[in-house]
Amino acid sequence: MSELYPLKFKTIFKEKLWGGQKIKTILGKDFGDLENCGETWELSGVSGNVSIVENGAFAGKSLTELVKEQRGSLVGEKIYEQFGYEFPLLIKYIDAAEDLSVQVHPNDELARARHNCAGKSEMWYIIQADDDASLINGFVKDTDKVEYLDYFQSGKIMELLHSENVKEGDVYYLPAGRVHTIGKGLFIAEIQQTSDITYRIYDFDRIDKEGNKRELHTELALDALDYSRPDQLRSEYLQIPNQINGIVSTPYFTTNKIISDKKIEINRSDLDCFKIYIGVGGSGSIAGETIQLGEVILIPAAMNSYQIEPDGKLELLETYIEL
């Protein structure tokens, strides 16, 4: 059996009604004959969209195949016990040339009951923002199902939603149940639970290529929504060079920011989990494998000690699960 090593995966490109060209212009990725690319799925265990290894001895194998073969050595013993063959996180880059729909994701309990899958809590890291770009994050006040439906049915739902302008480097954690929208002009890295369940609440009356409006999930959303005003909106964090700066710590994933302009020694011997590194600026290498903006590397759980080495300057998100 081949020894585990830092893994890269083939990009999965997704054309979207709201997608743009930044996957090509910012990341330098060719999405072929697609008119646009709204999302790239860089690391996915979602059924029907499972990532394929691109580098090294395991090239051509799917992520699911690799988990079945390597088990705890790849993902961590506790992670394997809890999630089995399904890889628990999904990593994306998202280009919103237009506003995404106003939407909500169910939590684990509701998603398992309705869809037999995990819920979807997620976080966004803003890589690039056009002037005056904004997003929607939660309600402007505590509300309830009755008041929400009144706003919705009277066509005033946007008045109930909190919107704010954003800039490069901003981070938002959106637990399942939080109403939200990625706004026009935002280019982000997203870390989320392995789930593709979205309830669309409002879609700005847009039509698709066939002239049809997209389906809304009004009734499904009612029991999924958290009607309270969020206590925390933007996640504040330090950006101290050459050390690990914590950003988000949740039951679903922990994420840190690393800004490196010199070699960093990483020791994760106390962590029984894979480590994912997401390129959000510059270039360099991790455990000898090159990485740059737009790339993702999966470090197996069995690899505890390695080096991060910048080529000038390297900016990374580091994410894993602490059980």
Burial class (CB in 10 A: 0-12, 13-18, 19+), 307: middle
The greatest distance separating any two alpha carbons of the chain, rounded to the nearest whole angstrom, comes to 62
Catalytic site residues? Answer: 200
> Residues 6 or more apart from 155 whose CB is under 8 A from it?
none
Contact 183, 245 (CB under 8 A): no
Helices of type H across the chain:
22-25, 63-70, 72-75, 77-83, 108-115, 145-153, 218-224
Burial class (CB in 10 A: 0-12, 13-18, 19+), 193: buried
Contact 86, 45 (CB under 8 A): yes
% helix, strand, coil for the chain, step of 5:
15, 35, 45
Cα–Cα distances (Å) from 99 to 38, 46, 51, 115, 172, in that order, read 11, 24, 27, 26, 17
Contact 276, 43 (CB under 8 A): yes
Contact 259, 299 (CB under 8 A): no
Please report which helix (H) or strand (E) contains residue 73, including its range.
Answer: helix 72-75
| 94, amino acid identity | I
Residue 124: closest CA among 310, 288, 298, 280: 280
Contact 257, 296 (CB under 8 A): no
Residue 297: closest CA among 14, 23, 53, 88: 53
Length of the chain: 323
DSSP 267: E
